[in-house]
Structure 1
Amino acid sequence: MRINLTSVFVDDQMKAFAFYTDILGFVEKHKVAVGEDWWLTVVSPEDPEGTELLLEPDGHPAVKPYKAALVEDGIPAAAFAVDDVAAEYERLRGLGVYFTQEPLKMDDVTVAVLDDTCGNLIQIMHTA
């Protein structure tokens, strides 16, 4: 068994798509119209056949309170691996990305947390 697909709930799929591709560097995998929304997934360009991230519309009534509670408590909705947290932090800040947590080293793990502009906190991390 392996993870094939996971999702983040977003308040605007097209805005999320732009952020996750243009800023974070993911690439489009699937874009299929489903009524007024999309089945819209992105993948890492380093692993185009790997785990897909679904940019899921947050229209369900339970989602907005859930997302708000996570953000209020500083809990990331997802974590993405990077080779160098400090370098990625500087690159993304240069692109205007807002971080709620600067790089923090804890034993052999370094993390930072960013705002994805679509209602989520996202952690970037590296394990030495």
Structure 2
Amino acid sequence: MKIHLTSVFVDDQADALRFYTEILGFVKKHDIPLGEEHRWLTVVSADEPGGTELLLEPAGHPAVKPYRDTLVNDGIPLAQFAVDDVKAEYERLRGLGVRFTQEPVEMGAVTTAVFDDTCGNLIQIVTRPK
């Protein structure tokens, strides 16, 4: 068994696609219309095009807003992405205007940072020892 797909709820799929591809560097994998307003919209890592897909899922369900608001208010990231060097990625993303809620912090063998994905979520990036 392996993880094939996971999702993040997003306020606007077009804005999310722009952020996740143009800023974070993911690549669009699927973009299938689902009615007039929504799409089955997934992105993947440019380094692993056959890897786990991230669904940019519309945040329209009534349970989503209180769930995400609580996580954001408590500073809890919705997802975590691995990067080779958190400090370098932090600098690159800040240079692109990304707002961080946690600067790089060393926590034993790992380094983490947390940013606002502009779509209603906090996302953590992490570097683990190789």
Aligned 1:38-117 pairs, distance under 5 A: 38-117=39-118
Q: Distance in 2 between matches of 1:100 and 1:39?
A: 29
What residue in structure 1 maps to residue 124 of structure 2?
Answer: 123
Deviation at 1:101, TM superposition (A): 0.1
Identity of aligned residues (%): 71
Q: Distance in 1 between matches of 2:119 and 2:40?
A: 17
Q: Distance in 2 between matches of 1:26 and 1:82?
A: 12
Deviation at 1:45, TM superposition (A): 0.6
Q: Does 1:12 align with 2:20?
A: no
Deviation at 1:24, TM superposition (A): 0.2
User: Unpaired segments of 5 or more residues in structure 2?
Assistant: none
SS in 2 for 1:119: coil
SS in 1 for 2:76: coil
Q: Distance in 2 between matches of 1:65 and 1:16?
A: 20
Q: Which amino acid aligns with 2:46?
A: P
Count of residues paired in the alignment: 128
Scaled by the length of structure 1, the TM-score of the pair is 0.99
SS in 1 for 2:19: helix
Q: Distance in 2 between matches of 1:11 and 1:74?
A: 19
